[in-house]
Structure 1
Amino acid sequence: MLEAVSREYPDRVAIIDPNQEIHRTYAEMESRATQIANVLWSQGVRRGQNFGLLMHNCVDFLEVLYGAAKIGATVVLVNKRLTSEEMAYELRDSRSVGLVYSPKFDRSVEELDADLDESVWRLRSGPVETDLAPSFDSRVAEAPTSFETLTDVDLGEMGWVIIYTSGTTGRPKGVVLSQSNIVASNNNTKRFLWSRYGEELTPYVRAVVTAGLNHIGGLCTSAAPVLADAGTLVILDEFDAANTLRTIEKYKVNLAFSIGTMWNSIVQEDVDKYDLSSLRVIGTCIAQHTDEQLRVLHDGMGAEVYYMFGQTETTTGSVTTRRMSDLITRRGTLGKPEGYMDTRIVSDSGEPVPVGEVGELQYRGPTVFKEYYGRPAETEAAFQHGWFRSGDLVREDADGYLYFVDRLKDMVKTGGLNVFTLEVEQTILGYPGVESVAVTGIPDERWGEAVVAFVLTSEGAVRDAGAIVGHCRERLGHYKVPKRIIFTDHIPVNSLGKVLKRELVKSLTEAPMNGASPPSASVKARESALRATRRMPAIETSGSDRAGSR
């Protein structure tokens, strides 16, 4: 991939890394990737082997990826926001033979060192060698600038990266994305997404990356397609709203894709202070936007806005809105399926559901992941007759637009009826003073599961559980109304902003309630505490009566 682009556009700037004041041309990047391939080979890395990469967003990150691709090795993208124990889990679970890391993570590597086998080598980026690791940069500088790419294997089918799922419902699984997956994703982005905007992205794409490169949003949606299309990529490390705007202005960025929560922070800035005339297209995902936020993105920043929906297992988003107007006239839509991916919406039995009915979204196509690493049974269970089961419940309107309803695992079954937690959450968010909410189910002896809402209120708001229940009763069917309202001062999320509902449920069984002893004392005590929660009144608060007292 990189080699072909470097031959055609050797002197074009491929990557700008403002933090390190680096401007790397395609020829320079290809040369560095070749040297890195030789370094990895000298470390004993061979095709089909895995090694870890723990880096912030930087030019080295991408050069390591392209170097590994020449060998047919797979790079485990260690999540930089994890604890050292969690990092060690990813490296052990993936059977990584080594680790390349940034000096920024010296302390993390020191902490996880004892949890790794002595045979796991380490290389530290930068010129300085430490007791734990030699200098990666010194090795690269001394490496040959030619590497004979393997010809006895189809590199396209080799794993290129392993990205661990967020693990909102259990231990994270390593999603293996092949080189072919990412090439198909690049082609899909260029052919079916960027082509909509015609001359707005000419003469070539100049994009900024704000999302982490260790996630598909940063790597597969933002970075890889730009480099495959001979564009210029500006890489930012830590997200900062004002710095993002300054970067767009300074480097004349015309395309910016980022997580919705980041855009929601950006629109709070005084965007009129910046010259954003170069910016033509904005991509967003995960979080939805209010009409006012969309107005600032479109009118204030002068860009066409699209929404993208997907997951790690699909390499990039495979459902997108077509134009800005979709987000206004079809509130809450995810968009339409696109590109080389087939989609269907099916019932529990695998039969297609009628238009307007809720079913599971399933995918089939070249961007569907290769496997869950080391988990053949879970890989097999993730597919139904060749279709990947996304676990997302959606409905389709008469024009083919999709709308998210719930995660299949989040849906609550109470008294034989299905409750979609997102519907309940949106209803509660409509109550004055509610800042955030997470709805889930807990075991219930009578109903099977009972609907529970964890509510975070804004500072100074009165916490009135009865009023919230009344608000729900006026707007929802009786079986959807939460049996309990639990006020909390914190709703846990992962690094992508996804709510960790299992942690909230766990808090019910581990926290003392009504004088009960802490359930962590024994399994028997844990079960007793859970039974106690089932017998408790329908309305309950935890914490203070007012959100302002924390």
Structure 2
Amino acid sequence: MTDRGYGSWLTQHALRNGQRTALVDDVGGAVTTYSQLETRTNQLAAALDANGVQRGDRVAMLLLNSPQMMEIYFAVAKLGAIAVPVNFRLHASEVAYVLEDSGSSFLFHSTAFAELAADATADNRRIQRSVMVPTLAERATTSGGDSAGDYEEFLAGGSPERVEREISHDDICVLMYTSGTTGRPKGAMLTHGNFFYNAVNGMGFDSGLGRTDITISAAPLFHIGALGVHTLPFLFIGAQVVITEAFAPDAWLEAVSRHKVTKAFLVPAMWAAVAQSGALQTADLSTLRSGISGGAPCPITVITALREAGMEFTEGFGMTETAPIAACLQPEDVVAHAGSIGRPAQFNDFRIVDEEGVQVPTGEVGELCVRGPNVFIGYWNKPDETANALRNGWFHTGDLAHVDEEGFYTLVDRKKDMVITGGENVYPIEVEQVMYQHPEVREVAVIGVPDAKWGERVMAVVVLTEGASVDADGLRQWTRGRIAHFKAPSEVVLVDELPRTATGKLLKRNLRQELGGPDAAVSR
């Protein structure tokens, strides 16, 4: 076979591990073996081919997490086409933008998003066909082909014979759109080779991955974290993936126990919810050997709570553009090097440079640059943005960082989030980590807002724990006693919740605009 893409992983496992479980539908419990997954993705690929989807065509997905979503990813890969996962929490106009920008010609959407899909495609002349995929409730309450409606009927129309295409590691397989917190989202072009090397990088976390491992995919699979940290690497190695439609901490803990999950990935906001869940104290986590966090620094208080629950905890660093694994902090280093992202993954090189692109000395802050075979090849139809991000073989991340003598890298903030007050640089992450040490702080976001005297001043936006007694000024004074005065917030604002993207990332731009005025947002 000339297929060297990630669709071929299933073909190999169907031969080597055909009767082993590949996917489990969480609530209904439906099991798909590797042999069945190979057959179903062959059928789906053939059906797409019969409907005109060719190499390089874009197939969009507006879907809740489901085994069917993973089938679509793999079927599209087998055709040499390009999957375009879409954030279903976007407004219809934003979904329409992604569909138009990607030039998608085919759309799969959950039945729950029928209205959103209709609104987003109302003026779209490229979408030739859309197919509905059932929600978990629909899959769990009915049986047979009728339970899946359009999707199963569409899949059944394809031949189970393997569709063979000549596919290389250099071919684009996924357009993963960035969150677009500072403007229109950009489609990161990820290749089959990116996913292959990412899977190998993923095997370097803690004790590694084996085919007897079980993970649970609860974060949205339209996001690179859920797709790339565990789901694809587990299917690469021939292990088992439990897929749950949405995340709720108590239900997640129950599912971990019921499915005997061995390793799990969540973003920090999700881990914080697990750590604060009353069910954590009674949950059976005897099989859960390790947890991995990524997407943002995880507060040390959350790490401590999870370790006390018996979990080996690891942090990783990555981005959509690195598919995503770029660095990891191993369990033995999590406490001693709290706040660090660890060391580069196996196939990655890091360097830290100044504004002129010159590497800075050890310990000094500069922009983190990454090089490796898991790094994307550019932004879809955006040559200027691509040229700015990829320079001389290095991906310029936009993250400010420093490295110590032992090779541990620490992010100090996004370049756009750094606060300059009275000529002093203040890195919000540093202030946030101090404030997280207060027992009544549940969440905190530090931003810079305009100030007539200092240019900018430091503001902390805080969500307190339930029943907290500290007030805003008390928290400000508490922080001032634990950090340099110029770094301490001059104002603390208490809120019920922080604005986040669907994947849990803080929307600091929204906070700057709401609390600092429009100029604060525009200037970033």
User: 1:186 and 1:473, CA in 2 relative to 1: closer, same or farther beyond 3 A?
Assistant: closer
Give the C-alpha shift of residue 48 in structure 1.
Answer: 1.3
Per-residue CA deviations over 1:304-357 (Å, capped at 9, x if unaligned) read 2211111111112211112x2312222222211121111111222222222222
2:396 counterpart letter in structure 1: R
User: 1:141 and 1:203, CA in 2 relative to 1: closer, same or farther beyond 3 A?
Assistant: closer
Matched residues in 1 for 2:60 and 2:435: separation?
42
Per the alignment, residue 284 of structure 1 pairs with 293
3-state SS of paired residue (1:248): helix
Per the alignment, residue 273 of structure 1 pairs with 282
Matched residues in 1 for 2:195 and 2:22: separation?
18
Per the alignment, residue 176 of structure 2 pairs with 163
Per-residue CA deviations over 1:84-117 (Å, capped at 9, x if unaligned) read 2222221122111121112122232233232433
Give the C-alpha shift of residue 150 in structure 1.
Answer: 2.0
Per-residue CA deviations over 1:358-404 (Å, capped at 9, x if unaligned) read 12111001000121111111011012321101111112222111222
User: 1:118 and 1:87, CA in 2 relative to 1: closer, same or farther beyond 3 A?
Assistant: same
User: 1:241 and 1:477, CA in 2 relative to 1: closer, same or farther beyond 3 A?
Assistant: closer
1:48 counterpart letter in structure 2: G
1:410 counterpart letter in structure 2: D
| TM-score normalized with structure 2 length | 0.87
Per-residue CA deviations over 1:213-243 (Å, capped at 9, x if unaligned) read 1111211111111111111111111112233
Q: Which has the larger radius of gyration?
A: 1
Per the alignment, residue 523 of structure 1 pairs with none
Q: Is 2:385 aligned against 1:378?
A: yes
Matched residues in 2 for 1:340 and 1:111: separation?
43
Matched residues in 2 for 1:427 and 1:234: separation?
36
Matched residues in 1 for 2:436 and 2:216: separation?
33
For residue 189 of structure 1, the aligned residue among 197, 202, 206 is 202
3-state SS of paired residue (2:174): strand
Per the alignment, residue 142 of structure 1 pairs with 157
Q: Is 2:13 aligned against 1:5?
A: yes
Matched residues in 2 for 1:385 and 1:6: separation?
41
Per the alignment, residue 309 of structure 2 pairs with 300
Which residues of 2 match residues 440-459 of structure 1 at below 5 A? 440-443=447-450, 447-456=454-463
3-state SS of paired residue (1:495): coil
Contact 1:129 1:135 in 2 (8 A): no
1:122 counterpart letter in structure 2: S
Give the C-alpha shift of residue 416 in structure 1.
Answer: 3.9
For residue 66 of structure 1, the aligned residue among 74, 79, 95 is 74
Per-residue CA deviations over 1:463-503 (Å, capped at 9, x if unaligned) read 555x6665565555555455655555553221222221221
Q: Which moved further from structure 2: 494-503 or 264-273?
A: 264-273
Matched residues in 2 for 1:56 and 1:185: separation?
24
Per-residue CA deviations over 1:163-184 (Å, capped at 9, x if unaligned) read 2112222221111211111011
Aligned Cα root-mean-square deviation (Å): 2.9
Matched residues in 2 for 1:247 and 1:435: separation?
25
Contact 1:326 1:333 in 2 (8 A): no
User: 1:497 and 1:435, CA in 2 relative to 1: closer, same or farther beyond 3 A?
Assistant: same
Per the alignment, residue 533 of structure 1 pairs with none
Which residues of 2 match residues 27-42 of structure 1 at below 5 A? 27-42=35-50
Q: Is 2:419 aligned against 1:404?
A: no
Q: Which moved further from structure 2: 118-127 or 379-388?
A: 118-127
For residue 353 of structure 1, the aligned residue among 342, 347, 360 is 360
2:447 counterpart letter in structure 1: T
User: 1:348 and 1:138, CA in 2 relative to 1: closer, same or farther beyond 3 A?
Assistant: same
Matched residues in 2 for 1:245 and 1:462: separation?
31
| TM-score normalized with structure 1 length | 0.83
Q: Is 2:209 aligned against 1:209?
A: no
For residue 371 of structure 2, the aligned residue among 350, 364, 374 is 364
Matched residues in 2 for 1:38 and 1:100: separation?
16
Per-residue CA deviations over 1:23-78 (Å, capped at 9, x if unaligned) read 11111101111111111112211111212111111111111111111111111101
Contact 1:73 1:160 in 2 (8 A): yes
Per the alignment, residue 117 of structure 2 pairs with 109
1:64 counterpart letter in structure 2: I
Contact 2:201 2:325 in 1 (8 A): no
User: 1:430 and 1:43, CA in 2 relative to 1: closer, same or farther beyond 3 A?
Assistant: same
User: 1:94 and 1:435, CA in 2 relative to 1: closer, same or farther beyond 3 A?
Assistant: same
3-state SS of paired residue (1:107): helix
Q: Which moved further from structure 2: 238-247 or 208-217?
A: 238-247
Per the alignment, residue 335 of structure 1 pairs with 342
1:237 counterpart letter in structure 2: E
Q: Which moved further from structure 2: 274-283 or 213-222?
A: 274-283
User: 1:232 and 1:438, CA in 2 relative to 1: closer, same or farther beyond 3 A?
Assistant: closer
1:339 counterpart letter in structure 2: Q
Contact 1:73 1:158 in 2 (8 A): no
Matched residues in 1 for 2:305 and 2:480: separation?
35
1:351 counterpart letter in structure 2: V
Give the C-alpha shift of residue 417 in structure 1.
Answer: 3.4
3-state SS of paired residue (2:42): helix
Per the alignment, residue 179 of structure 1 pairs with 192
For residue 430 of structure 2, the aligned residue among 413, 423, 432 is 423
2:309 counterpart letter in structure 1: G
Contact 1:307 1:334 in 2 (8 A): yes
Quote the sequence identity (%). Answer: 34
Per the alignment, residue 512 of structure 2 pairs with 505
3-state SS of paired residue (2:60): strand
2:182 counterpart letter in structure 1: T
Give the C-alpha shift of residue 431 in structure 1.
Answer: 6.5
3-state SS of paired residue (2:194): helix
3-state SS of paired residue (1:329): coil
Bigger relative contact order (CA 8 A; separation at least 6): 2
Per-residue CA deviations over 1:145-190 (Å, capped at 9, x if unaligned) read 1244223xx4422221122112222221111211111011112222
3-state SS of paired residue (1:220): helix
Which residues of 2 match residues 70-149 of structure 1 at below 5 A? 70-117=78-125, 119-126=127-134, 135-149=150-164
3-state SS of paired residue (2:407): coil
Q: Which runs of 5+ in 2 are unaligned?
A: 1-8, 135-144
3-state SS of paired residue (2:22): strand
Matched residues in 1 for 2:282 and 2:440: separation?
32
User: 1:325 and 1:290, CA in 2 relative to 1: closer, same or farther beyond 3 A?
Assistant: farther
Give the C-alpha shift of residue 443 in structure 1.
Answer: 4.9
Contact 1:168 1:499 in 2 (8 A): no
1:281 counterpart letter in structure 2: S
